[in-house]
A and B are shown apart, each in its own frame.
Chain A
Amino acid sequence: MSSLAHLLPLTVLLPITAGVLAPALFHRRGLACWWWALAAAILTFATTVTLWRQLQSGSTISYPLGGWPPPYGIELVFDGLAALMLVLCALSVLILLAARRYVEATVPSSRQSLFYALILINLGGMNGFVAAADLFNLFVFMEIFSISAYALVALARGPVAALAALKYLLVGAVSSLLVLLAVALLHAQTGSLNMSDVAGLLAQAEAPGASALALGCLVVGFLVKAAIFPLHFWLPDAHASAPSPVSALLSGLVVKMGIVGLVRTRILFAEAEIVPLLMLDNLLVWLGVIAILAGAVLAMVQRELKLMLAYSTVANMGYIALGIGLATPSAVSGALAHTVYHATIKTGLFLTAGSILLCTGLSRVDDLRGLGQRMPLTSGALVLGLLAATGIPPTAGFVGKWQIALGALQAGQAWVIGVILAGALLTLGWAIRVINSLFFRPPARARVITANEAPVSMLVPSVLLAVLAVSAGLGGAILLGLVEPLALAIVGADHDH
């Protein structure tokens, strides 16, 4: 084990420790706390960059916690999937950057340190989740990022936020319990918790029924976390009523954890070869198709900008589920690439929506008419983000969808391409409504006429993410090259048979 491997637990411990200390150190000192949180997030990002460079030059990094070797000790791994940490940390830094002005304006000073603390703990939980190599820690880290997410939603003002947070909590807690039940079932059968160890032992397990039940519980649990239609019902309220930086965090990053969980589950059961995965794949394809169409249609009928964006997340999670369900190398690598790209696009969109909400106090699309004249940069960033969300080439949204469509052809399911196109057209439909309202209609509200451009600390992350969202598609080949080994590992196991 190289000394660099010691950095791996740091990616989890650093944000969580900094988060726990923040309210104690910086009570009622919001600005100092913001610097503290930003420094912790940047340090974590630097750590992941170092780890990632190590991963590029060599093999997977594995760290036995406390020096106890797996399968008995707790193991953290930094593999292709854990490299997602890089995206998590980078986007968290941008979210924190944009959050300062928003938090100063909307959160009472006694609560500001809690806000930053929860964001850091959330980041630490997500990092731990993607790096966890054993089932129980997967559950624990899932609870860390979930509980901090419930609390973050509840930090918004107003009666809707409390109820939305409670709804989110109830659904999230039930899905977590399903995952814990599955962990219990797998542990009862194999006596082990380490995922690769469980996969090996499960092949000789006596009760395939219990394994199938465990698979079912894991899949349903993670489908809820990933907000795949029809288990998405908690998402729009929670994501739309949360403070905008939190919406960006939840919609951009936290829902992706459900996908990570699904991928880990699929790898485990593909290795165990105890339950045929064809049914799971078909389920994902169908749910994905329904989610793409339903999410886009529901986004279309919304009037509030943030609700539109929340339903668009439902549709995009559908694309990712579809890609994984098609189970061909290009479809899965498309789904993984789309996970990264959608995180970038949606974080940018919610941050931009947050700037608009902060500067005008308006959230309905019809009220925002003519805002393009008063806030050209912010509105421009929103437009670029929306175009990327529709997937017009060469934007970031295009690469993943194109790869998934190619994968559908390889899988012999050409009809899926029609669904992908229909989803893109429906998205274009509501995106054009927003663009039209912002740039081509006269202002209808006094607040729009008096609005000023967003402060620099909010503009920089929004514009940066918007430019990334539009141009990152050009680097699609690089990203696809990076996720390809992982995609092959995910589908590889059942292509051999």
Chain B
Amino acid sequence: MTEGLAHLDYIAVVILFAIGLYVVLTKQNLIKKIIGLNIMETAVFGLIVTSGMVDGGSPPLLGQGLEPPYASPIAHALVLTGIVVALSVTALALVLILRVKAECGSIELDELLEPDE
């Protein structure tokens, strides 16, 4: 494997993270901002999962005739917890967007921040 391809996963993660951050920062639609947040989260989870991978490693199970080196099992536990956290944040954000829509009549940030009166 060439040097560049060996780090393909890291490059993908950086690109995904940048896309997510761009969406969060520039889009005015609140739902799109949340989608951007989720893209960033996916990028970080991808990094954690791939960092636990060991080239030629076997699944981290004892007593199955598997030989070391094992892949790191911690990464998966971290990502599972991370997904739960991300889900709660997204759920809360969507509820808040519903309330903003009900009370202010819009979910476009530029319209919301414009003084109506």
Proximity bits, B27-49, A CB within 8 Å = 1, else 0? 00010010001001100100110
- Provide the residues of chain A in CB contact with B85, threshold 8 Å: 139-140, 143, 147, 176
* B75, B88, B92 interface centre (most CB from chain A within 10 Å): B92
Asked whether, in the complex, the Cβ of B51 is within 8 Å of the Cβ of A169, the reply is no
- Provide the residues of chain A in CB contact with B66, threshold 8 Å: none
Asked whether, in the complex, the Cβ of A166 is within 8 Å of the Cβ of B96, the reply is yes
- Provide the residues of chain A in CB contact with B30, threshold 8 Å: 166
Interface bin, chain B:
20 to 34
CA of A180 to CA of B47, assembled, Å: 10
Partner of B37, one of A147, A174, A187: A174
- A171 closest partner in B (C-beta): B24
Tell me if B103 is interfacial: C-beta within 8 Å of chain A: yes
Tell me if B99 is interfacial: C-beta within 8 Å of chain A: yes
Partner of A188, one of B41, B51, B103, B112: B51
CA of A163 to CA of B72, assembled, Å: 41
- Provide the residues of chain A in CB contact with B104, threshold 8 Å: 159, 162-163
Asked whether, in the complex, the Cβ of A184 is within 8 Å of the Cβ of B37, the reply is no
- Provide the residues of chain B in CB contact with A69, threshold 8 Å: none
Proximity bits, B78-104, A CB within 8 Å = 1, else 0? 100110010011001100110110011
Tell me if B21 is interfacial: C-beta within 8 Å of chain A: yes
- Provide the residues of chain A in CB contact with B17, threshold 8 Å: 181
Tell me if A467 is interfacial: C-beta within 8 Å of chain B: no
Proximity bits, A141-185, B CB within 8 Å = 1, else 0? 001000100110010001100110110011001101100110111
- Provide the residues of chain A in CB contact with B78, threshold 8 Å: 136, 183-184, 187
Tell me if B11 is interfacial: C-beta within 8 Å of chain A: no
Asked whether, in the complex, the Cβ of B21 is within 8 Å of the Cβ of A174, the reply is yes
Asked whether, in the complex, the Cβ of A166 is within 8 Å of the Cβ of B37, the reply is no
- A210 closest partner in B (C-beta): B10
Taking the closest CB of chain A, its distance from the CB of B51, in whole angstroms, is 3
Tell me if A193 is interfacial: C-beta within 8 Å of chain B: yes
Taking the closest CB of chain A, its distance from the CB of B99, in whole angstroms, is 4
A interface residues, how many (CB within 8 angstroms): 29
Tell me if A481 is interfacial: C-beta within 8 Å of chain B: no
Partner of B100, one of A139, A162, A173, A187: A162
Partner of B92, one of A158, A163, A169: A169
- B48 closest partner in A (C-beta): A184
Tell me if A191 is interfacial: C-beta within 8 Å of chain B: yes
CA of A184 to CA of B79, assembled, Å: 10
CA of A170 to CA of B88, assembled, Å: 13
Q: With contacts A143-B89, A166-B30, A166-B96 known, is A136 near B81, CB below 8 A? A: yes
Q: With contacts A147-B88, A169-B93, A181-B17 known, is A159 near B103, CB below 8 A? A: yes
CA of A173 to CA of B85, assembled, Å: 10
Partner of A177, one of B33, B40, B81, B88: B40
Asked whether, in the complex, the Cβ of A147 is within 8 Å of the Cβ of B89, the reply is yes
What are 23 A-B contacts defined by CB distance under 8 Å? Answer: A136-B78, A140-B81, A140-B85, A147-B88, A147-B89, A147-B92, A158-B103, A162-B96, A162-B100, A163-B100, A166-B30, A166-B96, A170-B37, A173-B93, A174-B21, A174-B24, A174-B37, A177-B37, A177-B44, A180-B82, A181-B47, A183-B78, A184-B48
User: 10 smallest A-B Cβ distances: which pairs?
Assistant: A188-B51, A159-B103, A162-B99, A184-B48, A166-B96, A143-B85, A184-B47, A162-B100, A159-B104, A181-B44
Q: Give B residues with C-beta under 8 Å from A.
A: 17, 21, 24, 30, 33, 37, 40-41, 44, 47-48, 51, 72, 74-75, 78, 81-82, 85, 88-89, 92-93, 96-97, 99-100, 103-104, 112
